[in-house]
């Protein structure tokens, strides 16, 4: 009976640790994204950039944010890179959507949010695989 209790505690602790790791990665990614967007907004005040470049640059900022958040969150992990990365990317997208919608003053649900969630999860999954495999060497 004691072994069962310890095993259950270990599984519960593992789930909590996994959740905290992925949440930490998403929050790191959000922090990097906010800093990147602020720097980009500052640059836009002084440099004329075409409207057709703003969305791709925002995507690059999101991608780098997810990459950095995933690498930081998975720095001690040696497995489950794909799953962790998928969740970090997805959580980042949802948290960023809420944060930027609050800053903007309105929430707009649409196909672009679904695309962003899919993009974030895919990028997170790829970054998670890379991060875990770099740590193994």
120 CA to centre of own chain = 7
pLDDT per residue as tens digits for the range 80-120: 889 999 999 999 999 999 998 998 888 888 899 999 999 99
Most confident of 1-5, 98-102, 131-135: 98-102
pLDDT of residue 11: 59
**pLDDT level of residue 2 (50, 70, 90 thresholds):** very low
Q: How many CB atoms lie within 10 A of CB 13?
A: 10
Residues 43 and 58 sit within 8 Å (Cβ to Cβ): no
Query: How many domains are there within the chain?
Result: 1
Domain span at residue 102 reads 2-136
Residues 73 and 25 sit within 8 Å (Cβ to Cβ): yes
pTM here?
0.83
Backbone CA torsion sign across 42, 94, 92, 86: negative
pLDDT of residue 1: 46
Question: Which of 90, 108, 111, 109 has the alpha carbon at shortest distance from 29?
Answer: 90
Would you call 40 exposed, middle or buried from its count of C-beta atoms within 10 A (0-12, 13-18, 19+)? middle
């Amino acid at each position: 009976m004691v072994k069962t209790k310890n095993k259950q505690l270990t599984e519960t602790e593992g789930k909590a640790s996994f959740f905290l790791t992925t949440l930490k990665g998403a929050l790191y990614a959000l922090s990097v994204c906010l800093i990147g967007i602020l720097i980009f907004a500052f640059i836009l005040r002084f440099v004329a950039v075409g409207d057709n470049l703003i969305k791709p640059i925002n995507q690059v900022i999101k991608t780098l944010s997810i990459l950095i958040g995933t690498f930081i969150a998975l720095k001690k992990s040696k497995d489950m890179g794909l799953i962790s990365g998928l969740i970090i990317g997805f959580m980042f997208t949802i948290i960023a959507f809420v944060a930027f919608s609050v800053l903007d003053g309105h929430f707009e649900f649409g196909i672009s949010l679904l695309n962003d969630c899919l993009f974030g999860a895919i990028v997170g999954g790829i970054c998670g695989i890379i991060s875990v495999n770099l740590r193994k060497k």
